[in-house]
Structure 1
Amino acid sequence: MTEKRDYKDTVFLPKTDFPMKAGLPQKEPGIQARWHSEDLYNQMRESRAGREKFILHDGPPYANGDMHIGHALNHILKDMVCRTQNLAGKDAPYVPGWDCHGLPIEWKIEEQYRKKKLDKNAVDPKEFRAECRAYAQHWVDTQREQLKRLGIMGDWDNPYLTMDFAAEGTIVSELLKFAESGNLYRGSKPVMWSPVEETALAEAEVEYEDLTDSPQIDVAFEIIESPIKELIGAHAVIWTTTPWTIPVNQALAYGPDVEYVLLNACFMPEEQARDDEDSGYRFYLVARALKQQFLDRKLEEIRRLQNDTGATSCYDIDQEIGIKGSELAGTKARHPMHKLGGFYATPRPFLPGDFVTTDSGTGLVHMSPDHGEDDFALCKAHGIEPVFAVMNDGRYRDDWLWLGGNDDRRRSVINKPFNSPEGPICSDLREVGALLSASADYAHSYPHSWRSKAKVIYRCTPQWFVPMDKDLPWLEPKSAEDKSWEGEGGAIDPSEETICAAPTLRERAMEEIARVRFVPEKGRNRIGSMVEGRPDWVLSRQRAWGVPITLFVNRESGDYLRDEAVNARIVAAVHKEGVDAWEEARAQEFLGADYNADDFEMVTDILDVWFDSGCTHSFVLESGKWPDLQWPANLYLEGSDQHRGWFQSSLLESCATRGRAPYDQILTHGFTMDAKGKKMSKSLGNTIDPLKVMEQYGADIIRLWALSVDFTEDHRIGDEILKGVGDQYRKLRNTFRYLLGALDGFVGDMCDAGEVPELELYVLALLADLDGKLRKAVDDYDFNAYTRLLVDFCNEDLSAFFFDIRKDTLYCDGPDSTTRNAYRTVLDLLFHALVRYAAPVLVYTTEEVWSTRYPDGGSVHLLEWPAVPGVTADGERWEKLRDLRERVNEAIEPLRREKVIRSSLEAEVRVPANAVPEGFSDADLAELFITASVTCSDSDSVTVTKTNHHKCGRCWRLLPEVSEDGELCGRCDDAVSQMDAAE
């Protein structure tokens, strides 16, 4: 018997060295090292020189700690923006930067001192700042390597740092623009203050924590003067959750439209006779709407004082007199501690306040201008000034009558025992009969410093402010030669109506918010509402590590010096020596011969770090140090918290000095939650470390995750989510592996355009449609859609459809097959398009793919957007066919599960004739459905039977022309004959 021939060697199976197993954690560092050695970033800049610019200005992360998942997401998005813009043929440089000044770093250095039992204030300030600088540089270097490992392409050798001397000099120069134009003033206003860190805080440095054990007290202020005679001798009742502010009370506020009631009430044990002569009736003034709440709190206080003996209490109201709030004008009360004399002896006036409501409390609000914004504004309007009784560390100053001096009760006002119902304030009020109720069960949200986690307070201190509602000057050059006020965005034209219509900083900022593009759109309302209602910008901080407020204040007039020559000397010194140049010993040097240093106070406050970062557009985009950059930026991209942070400080700084925003677009992303949608927290143990993810999965997996989620909203990450991303990655990798294998030996276009089969034309039309959608996704910054479109095209249109159908053609058609050559020509087009589309997402994998096919072809990341054929197809017709194909596969599957047939090639299929699109023959359908045969019928259902035909020994198709298993069909016989003849 003659042994049958094995035709395995005659089949054109794909060949490639590209492995199915990715091994990304091992391969990626080597690819990154190659990029560095070949200077890929500067190669990109050279290849895009002269092209249209696209400038994404990097918002500086803080140089404090390892990269976390939020950093990873943020920088992957920025990298995606720049890479897609470069891919589109633009010149999109990326200069990374870091915020290096400020409290977090200073706090870390102080912590090191505290561990050594050292006092920071005893250390030379220059030495302290040097330690802060070294600490920041350490974390800059650490984060830089971690971010590079993510595949972020940028000018990593030349990042910008806010602590560079040139940057510090520019920040000073920008500050002095405010000063020279009069847009700076020193005033006293309550600001968020951290007694632990002893500094003012920006709103962005404050977080709110829900408390359930805050104190709440009712305090009686005896009325001593009033146009309403019934009020004299009565007790106005105030309610507060900050007992520590009572020692600096200066007034009481009422609502002019609130209805008040004067109660003659008595509180007593329930068994006590109502006609007891010593019944203890007193008059209390409260809002009518809050009367019952007050009475209930007073009864609860009596119950506590009875020490839960089981006795019950009640009240009796002998008389009620209604009083309209506006009638309280001219009323005065005395402070409960009036017997101390001095500050406490002055009567406290009743003042009308529109902020007084009847939501809670008593409808009367005690006013402490030192410790509340409403308090400050109302008291100032009536000539009552702050007294600055509370010091930097939150304690009352030594000379304060109540709780000052060396009394052992003297402690920080945020100290819980001090501020509790049992603390010294409440004890003293109780002793003089003014404490009507006190408890520690009030639930509310309270501000804390996000660094020290300690409570913060409102505290009135002298600070430096930028006014939001003062008319700004025209921002014209100071002379024809001096363009320093213009920026590279061009001079501000005073004739422009948009500028004329917005004379104040707030109005200019609001106009720019209306102009700028926001993605997503809701960001416009978010930042708009913040700017619209924000108070004046507090610039000063009382710390050591930061850019100084380089001003000289005249000791006699209180005005700060405005002299261009003095300012120029200061700026030059800081440019050369950094912030250490600003020291008292050099005051006369800066002031020059025209002034006497003894006549001036040298300001020692430093600038809010948000002012630092708000100036980055100036010293990065305009400085010329990075010639590839230009002002203004096309895009700022950060998390949604930056609407109150960097987006806003940059907007205000630039509007005040340049008349417009330093950006044209803002792209905002949400926050990364754990797999259950909870905020990540080390204490909860639910954080995801991107460094560990890269060690396990590789950077491309993190990138694919970041670009697959809807990053404009809060989104999730977790082990199961990453496993799902890994599955997506494997499908994409296998698509490239198939393309590389199928294109083995392909050297160019081997197919005449007129010979391209309809299936190939349809796939080219799908590619053209994909191309248009991806371009739109880039324009919309819709990277979730970009990645999803790419993955779905590879999985559904290629792997599950096109590749599946044409694998028989690829493997078994003869060497001169028109269909096979057309297929490979289209695969080549697909390869060049897909490797470019995927390059911004899978930066390491696509480099591996490209170098596998083109070892000497340079980097895939230097390529530009592919030119795809503008092919169209009858999409509706093909969708109908694909729906029918899906029905056929569903009908075959049960027979496969039951092992009636082993593959679809054994199936003879009957399909409804009305379901077949026009123009497809039975033979076409059998090829497209990968079955033995297809026939059309009048039935509405798809039926499948097992064929009786024999199997070709080479292509394994079961055909009527094959007389027995193992023989060749006509196509395979011709192909083998050609190959045999060629050999």
Structure 2
Amino acid sequence: FDVWTANGRMLAGRGIETKIPYTVDADGRFTKDAPGFEGAQVITDKGEKGNANDVVIKALAASGHLVARGRLKHQYPHSWRSKKPVIFRNTPQWFIAMDKPYGDAGVPDPAAPAPTAGGNADTLRNRALKAIKDTEWVPAAGENRINGMIANRPDWVVSRQRAWGVPITVFVEKESGTVLVDARVNAAIAEAFEKEGADAWFTDLDGARFLRPFGYDPALYERVTDVLDVWFDSGSTHAFTLEKRPDLATHRIVDGGKDKVMYLEGSDQHRGWFHSSLLESCGTRGRAPYDVVLTHGFCLDEKGEKMSKSKGNVTAPQDIIKDSGADILRLWVAAADYSDDLRIGKEILKTFVETYRKLRNTMRWMLGTLAHFSEEIRVTEPAAMPELERLMLHRLAELGPQVEEAYRTYDYKKVVNLLSQFMNTELSAFYFDVRKDALYCDPLSSHVRKSALTVVDHLFRCLTTWLAPILVFTAEEAWLERYPEQKAGEGSVHLELFAAAQENWFDPELAERWTKVRRVRRVVTGALELERAAKRIGSSLEAAPEVHIADPDLRAAVSGLDLAEICITSGVRLVEGEGPAEAFRLADVPGVSVVPMRASGVKCARSWKYFDPATAERDHPDVTPRDAKALRELQRTA
């Protein structure tokens, strides 16, 4: 068959008829194009082997043309459902041409010469190749994959010979084989389908219903009984959603709207839904039905094996939601590299349960802290805030565009990484840890406390809106807890835009200085960890270390700052120089060494800081003067 069709032109030039006969019909029997064997069954209606082989072999033997015969066991195509053999048969099909130029009416011109693939002709192939370039593919490798499929594919076979499906509603003149093209007939068929569905075609056995009213004799026409390939059905879905639904029609950018249309499916759909949708839409609309195509891998078990009920390795989404909540499932999906296959199982989910717990606890802490915030104490100008608060505002200004860009490029893994690292490392382990003392113990009138509360308010709004697309329920729960007046259905975090940083929050020079400050802090905290491990101290507030700084840049960075507050100790003594040999050092922070020392004085009953009892006030002898002032202010407001 392949050799014959490949040499068709050469054979025709020699006067040889090249038409391929249709030797097997839809019932698996030889046709009249196999003279002498007509009616012999290649395959029975039960899917069993028919008598055709025996009949042909006997005829060959009888005519003396049989060279040899024998039996061979081999792999052969079969139906995976019925386990019966499948035969290949040559049969007429309906094609959509890939390389015929479009005529003025928007349909291929049968009189035009068939061009070679490529070129600038307005063909279905060239339309599709241009549409691929105009589409955003996520990940980008998807573009090359589908581009190769379209560039190299033959004409599109859209017909199938099945007992079910959407029919190809065409009449063909029996004598000439010409397709009947009459807008009135087509309109009548469409109207019948709107009312009755596809059965309208199958119940009209001779076509009289659609032919006679317009002067055509049903006896002269053959009603096509082939059905459309199901991929043609799926490829047409855009026409019945994007263009029919009022809430979606004309929303697309190319229609004057401002929205993009995304097709989202597994990577196997480059040859399926994405492919057929592209060709159908390019053929009828001249463009792709989508602006963005995002593909993902498939879910595997923890060992990377395909999930199967028989193996018992299936992780069902409803089970995860029941045990851990929907947001755990959403967090796992968002944090995964969806461009590859995704592994899931109990052990993997444990990691995300812990990640979620940390994120949720950070939001809970902010909510508890913001119970003490009101607009009356808001500090509006960043310049009036302490450096630590200005640093956090800078980090928000720096982080916001990164988060938004990650969302724009569908890089949800990066969103999770950015926010998890910021909330766990920058906030919980640093900023909140340092500022707990001022937030809990400073007087109500404290400017540091007011500034910190203002920054926590900004942090909450930014982080909650940034997390909302992923932790849908958690973000909404936190938002309505913060703004209870919206619980009556008047508001939702999902109706908010991403919180944006103000221009005057950005301060790269301050951030550079604090990078150096935190390097010094790491050496101090490292030294105190060893002291804690040796049980020489319990809390870091029991320490008042000596910090030796030989590096002039680092010394300048910490100048003017309360290093004891930053390191959460009761005191710090700064000393210029390298420090003694036995001092604690970190290899990656040269020029800084720490000599751990216990804090002197007594422990404040309120802040737990150690202080000189001689500085205590008579009315509050067991707390620091700072805490005494705070207590007086609290008493006045009680």
Same fold (TM over 0.5): yes
Name the SS of the counterpart of 1:676 in structure 2.
coil
Name the SS of the counterpart of 2:219 in structure 1.
helix
Equivalent residues of 2:435, 2:452 under 8 A apart? yes
**Pick from 883, 892, 900: which aligns with 2:528?**
892
In structure 1, the partner of 2:582 is none
**Pick from 581, 584, 596: which aligns with 2:204?**
584
In structure 2, the partner of 1:811 is 440
Counterpart residue type for residue 747 of structure 1: S
User: Per-residue deviation at 1:895?
Assistant: 2.0
Counterpart residue type for residue 517 of structure 2: L
Q: Do residues 600 (structure 1) and 221 (structure 2) align?
A: yes
In structure 2, the partner of 1:946 is 598
Q: 1:825 to 1:586 in 2, by over 3 A?
A: farther
Whole-Å separation in 2 of the counterparts to 1:545 and 1:580: 10
Q: 1:627 to 1:410 in 2, by over 3 A?
A: closer
Name the SS of the counterpart of 2:556 in structure 1.
coil
Whole-Å separation in 1 of the counterparts to 2:433 and 2:82: 60
Long gaps (5+) in structure 2: 12-16, 108-117, 255-259, 579-590
Deviates more, 1:512-521 or 1:917-926: 917-926
In structure 2, the partner of 1:471 is 101
Equivalent residues of 1:951, 1:966 under 8 A apart? no
In structure 2, the partner of 1:434 is 68
1:292-441 superposed matches below 5 A = 369=1, 376-378=5-7, 382=11, 383-390=17-24, 392=26, 434=68, 440=74
Q: 1:739 to 1:596 in 2, by over 3 A?
A: same
Q: 1:755 to 1:538 in 2, by over 3 A?
A: same
Whole-Å separation in 2 of the counterparts to 1:736 and 1:908: 32
In structure 2, the partner of 1:869 is 502
Deviates more, 1:569-578 or 1:665-674: 665-674
User: Per-residue deviation at 1:854?
Assistant: 1.8
1:275-294 superposed matches below 5 A = none
User: Per-residue deviation at 1:962?
Assistant: 6.5
Q: 1:969 to 1:645 in 2, by over 3 A?
A: same
In structure 2, the partner of 1:63 is none
In structure 2, the partner of 1:860 is 493
**Pick from 269, 272, 283: which aligns with 1:656?**
283
Equivalent residues of 1:950, 1:962 under 8 A apart? no
Whole-Å separation in 1 of the counterparts to 2:127 and 2:249: 29
Equivalent residues of 1:610, 1:646 under 8 A apart? yes
In structure 2, the partner of 1:909 is 545
Equivalent residues of 1:749, 1:825 under 8 A apart? no
User: Per-residue deviation at 1:527?
Assistant: 0.2
Q: Do residues 956 (structure 1) and 608 (structure 2) align?
A: yes
**Pick from 589, 607, 611: which aligns with 2:232?**
611
Q: Do residues 927 (structure 1) and 547 (structure 2) align?
A: no
Q: Do residues 551 (structure 1) and 170 (structure 2) align?
A: yes
Q: 1:950 to 1:452 in 2, by over 3 A?
A: farther
Q: 1:586 to 1:379 in 2, by over 3 A?
A: closer
Whole-Å separation in 1 of the counterparts to 2:614 and 2:537: 19
Q: What is the percent sequence identity of the aligned residues?
A: 44
Equivalent residues of 2:514, 2:557 under 8 A apart? no
User: Per-residue deviation at 1:449?
Assistant: 6.3
Counterpart residue type for residue 402 of structure 2: K
Query: How big is each residue's C-alpha offset from its partner over 1:326-361, in whole Å with a ceiling of 9 and x where there is no partner?
Result: xxxxxxxxxxxxxxxxxxxxxxxxxxxxxxxxxxxx
Q: Do residues 881 (structure 1) and 517 (structure 2) align?
A: yes
Whole-Å separation in 1 of the counterparts to 2:450 and 2:321: 41
Q: Which structure is higher in RCO with an 8 Å CA cutoff and minimum separation 6?
A: 1
Counterpart residue type for residue 405 of structure 2: K
Query: How big is each residue's C-alpha offset from its partner over 1:111-163, in whole Å with a ceiling of 9 and x where there is no partner?
Result: xxxxxxxxxxxxxxxxxxxxxxxxxxxxxxxxxxxxxxxxxxxxxxxxxxxxx
Whole-Å separation in 2 of the counterparts to 1:458 and 1:651: 29
In structure 1, the partner of 2:136 is 517
Name the SS of the counterpart of 2:375 in structure 1.
coil
Equivalent residues of 1:953, 1:966 under 8 A apart? no
Counterpart residue type for residue 502 of structure 2: P
In structure 2, the partner of 1:460 is 90
Whole-Å separation in 2 of the counterparts to 1:403 and 1:657: 45
Equivalent residues of 2:362, 2:428 under 8 A apart? yes
Q: 1:748 to 1:451 in 2, by over 3 A?
A: farther
In structure 2, the partner of 1:704 is 331
Number of residue-to-residue matches in the alignment: 581
Counterpart residue type for residue 635 of structure 2: D
Equivalent residues of 1:512, 1:660 under 8 A apart? yes
Whole-Å separation in 1 of the counterparts to 2:419 and 2:373: 24
Query: How big is each residue's C-alpha offset from its partner over 1:373-397, in whole Å with a ceiling of 9 and x where there is no partner?
Result: 5664446864454444455576777
Q: Do residues 677 (structure 1) and 323 (structure 2) align?
A: no
In structure 1, the partner of 2:586 is none
Coordinate RMSD, CA, aligned = 3.5
Between Structure 1 and Structure 2, which shows a larger proportion of strand residues? Answer: 1
Whole-Å separation in 1 of the counterparts to 2:52 and 2:448: 86
Q: 1:917 to 1:613 in 2, by over 3 A?
A: farther
Between Structure 1 and Structure 2, which shows a larger proportion of helix residues? Answer: 2
Q: 1:843 to 1:764 in 2, by over 3 A?
A: same
Query: How big is each residue's C-alpha offset from its partner over 1:151-198, in whole Å with a ceiling of 9 and x where there is no partner?
Result: xxxxxxxxxxxxxxxxxxxxxxxxxxxxxxxxxxxxxxxxxxxxxxxx
Counterpart residue type for residue 774 of structure 1: V
Q: 1:393 to 1:952 in 2, by over 3 A?
A: farther
Equivalent residues of 2:128, 2:288 under 8 A apart? yes
User: Per-residue deviation at 1:683?
Assistant: 3.5
Whole-Å separation in 2 of the counterparts to 1:412 and 1:396: 14
In structure 2, the partner of 1:106 is none
Equivalent residues of 1:962, 1:969 under 8 A apart? no
User: Per-residue deviation at 1:580?
Assistant: 1.8
In structure 2, the partner of 1:936 is 574
Equivalent residues of 2:377, 2:450 under 8 A apart? yes
1:784-863 superposed matches below 5 A = 784-857=413-486, 858-863=491-496
In structure 2, the partner of 1:80 is none
Counterpart residue type for residue 494 of structure 2: H
Query: How big is each residue's C-alpha offset from its partner over 1:801-831, in whole Å with a ceiling of 9 and x where there is no partner?
Result: 1111101111111111111111111111111
Whole-Å separation in 1 of the counterparts to 2:138 and 2:128: 18
Counterpart residue type for residue 234 of structure 2: S
User: Per-residue deviation at 1:859?
Assistant: 1.7
User: Per-residue deviation at 1:454?
Assistant: 6.9
Whole-Å separation in 1 of the counterparts to 2:216 and 2:32: 37
Q: 1:869 to 1:657 in 2, by over 3 A?
A: same
User: Per-residue deviation at 1:691?
Assistant: 1.5
Counterpart residue type for residue 334 of structure 2: L
Counterpart residue type for residue 581 of structure 1: A
Query: How big is each residue's C-alpha offset from its partner over 1:437-493, in whole Å with a ceiling of 9 and x where there is no partner?
Result: 9565x8xxx87767768775543222211111211224669xxxxxxxxxxxxxxxx
Whole-Å separation in 2 of the counterparts to 1:917 and 1:640: 55
Equivalent residues of 1:620, 1:626 under 8 A apart? no
User: Per-residue deviation at 1:664?
Assistant: 2.5
Q: 1:569 to 1:416 in 2, by over 3 A?
A: closer
Whole-Å separation in 1 of the counterparts to 2:475 and 2:574: 44
Equivalent residues of 2:513, 2:557 under 8 A apart? no
Whole-Å separation in 2 of the counterparts to 1:412 and 1:645: 30
Name the SS of the counterpart of 1:584 in structure 2.
coil
Whole-Å separation in 1 of the counterparts to 2:3 and 2:463: 61
**Pick from 733, 736, 741: which aligns with 2:363?**
736
Whole-Å separation in 2 of the counterparts to 1:607 and 1:599: 24
User: Per-residue deviation at 1:785?
Assistant: 0.9
Whole-Å separation in 1 of the counterparts to 2:296 and 2:346: 22
Equivalent residues of 1:412, 1:418 under 8 A apart? no
In structure 2, the partner of 1:777 is 406
Counterpart residue type for residue 936 of structure 1: L
Whole-Å separation in 2 of the counterparts to 1:795 and 1:823: 18
